[in-house]
Amino acid sequence: MASTVDQVTQRRRGVGLIAHDPALSAGGYTLIAPQTADGHVYLVDIEGRVAHEWKLPVRAGRHAVILPNGNLGYNGNHPRSPDRYAPWSMWHGGDFYEVTPQGEIVWRHEDPDHHHDAQWLPNGHLLYAACAPVPAGFAERVPGGTAHGPGEVMYGDVIREVDRSGRLVWEWKAWEHLAPEDFPIHPGFGRYHWPLVNGLGVRADGSVLMSLRTTSGIIAVDKASGAVKLHIPPSVVSHQHAPVALDNGHILAFDNGNFREGAHVAFSRVVEIDPADHRVVWSYQDEMVNAFYTAFMGNAQRLWNGNTHITESATGRLFEVTPAGEVVWEYILPWFAEYPDAAARRTGPGRLNSVFQTWRYHADQLPWLGAAGRLS
């Protein structure tokens, strides 16, 4: 006889709104595009209620954002992207949509080479990470990593920017600008993707931030020359995601902590880094460090009141902390399902509520939302 106990551990521990301190929280609305929600995107108010919902034609490849015009920018999983390597099905996107609050698709861009992050730029352009096989002989120059089979193809990152017509206006290829001996793959990662740009950002000077997953570290690239003008090394961060340029010139990043040097347990943290000297000037980690950990994905957002919104992706856990590190809001995604395709289930098995990134928005950024919804 089957047990009557819910066998999904994360759901059994509680979902929805877990904690809220209205006096200290920034408030607002959180945009959530769960990885296994079949294209559903939810706007959740600070009390954990769904204030608005979209249904997109494809499941989330990665994340969704609210654009300056109030529309939804959606990073969908391209249904015809070729199967490049084992985790590809789980983390590629490539089917981008701009959608009105009423659900009308007003723009679409397709690139089956896309994976991980994308940035919707203020000028309407789309900046995103893609990949292609590295040139012949290059893979042999890349140190480290674990080979998974003879003749395995190594893919390298190609960062692309397209305009509203889909025209390519900028492209950067990792193998043309990074010396492989300076960016070895950690032994814990495979050799199928180097250096695996899993996060992008744009600094005030126009340089492009790139988070390097398999080698660890963050770089900033000059768009005119393609040269690396900043390199925050693996001694500062550990296989991180989501570099964000803050108004004060610092860089906020989600430091996942895979293979963290000197740590006897795996734990994640959020760090604010001064790029001038690579010094961590602010950080958040749980007082029981391994209570906050996601081995993959994750992001952090500095809010308008100085608090930080954090996405612990693998567990579908979202929370907000003050500058002093006090948790003032916590929410667990209640939407659980398996990945619909077998290839993705091999890498991400089970009924999941995971999400790549989530973002908090002030009511003023959602003028189309009904007055009743904005009261919260």
pLDDT in tens, 153-193: 999 999 999 999 999 999 999 999 999 999 999 999 999 99
Residue 61 near residue 76, CB atoms below 8 Å: yes
| Predicted pLDDT at 117 | 97
Domains recognised in the chain with CATH numbers: 17-365 (2.130.10.10)
| Predicted pLDDT at 370 | 78
CA 3/CA 11 separation, integer angstroms? 16
Token pair listed for 204: 């005030």
What is the identity of the amino acid at 224?
A
Buried residues in 72-102 as b, exposed as e (16+ CB within 10 A): bbbbbbbeebeebbebbbbbbbbbbbbbebe
Q: Tell me the pTM.
A: 0.96
pLDDT digits (tens, 9 = 90+) for 280-326: 999 999 999 999 999 999 999 999 999 999 999 999 999 999 999 99
Sheet holding 60-66, edge to edge: 60-66, 72-77, 94-99, 105-110
| Predicted pLDDT at 371 | 52
| Predicted pLDDT at 329 | 98
Q: Which residue do the tokens 């667990």 mark?
A: 332
Report which of 353, 260, 362 is spatially closest to residue 26, judged by C-alpha positions: 362
CA distances from 77 to 58, 63, 110, 130 (A): 6, 10, 10, 13
User: What are the average pLDDT values for consecutive 10-residue runs of the chain, which has 376 residues?
Assistant: 93 97 98 97 98 98 97 97 92 96 98 98 97 97 90 96 98 98 96 98 98 98 98 97 98 97 94 98 97 97 98 98 98 96 90 97 94 45
- What secondary structure letter does DSSP report for 15? -
Residue 156 near residue 134, CB atoms below 8 Å: yes
What is the identity of the amino acid at 238?
S
Residue 182 near residue 143, CB atoms below 8 Å: no
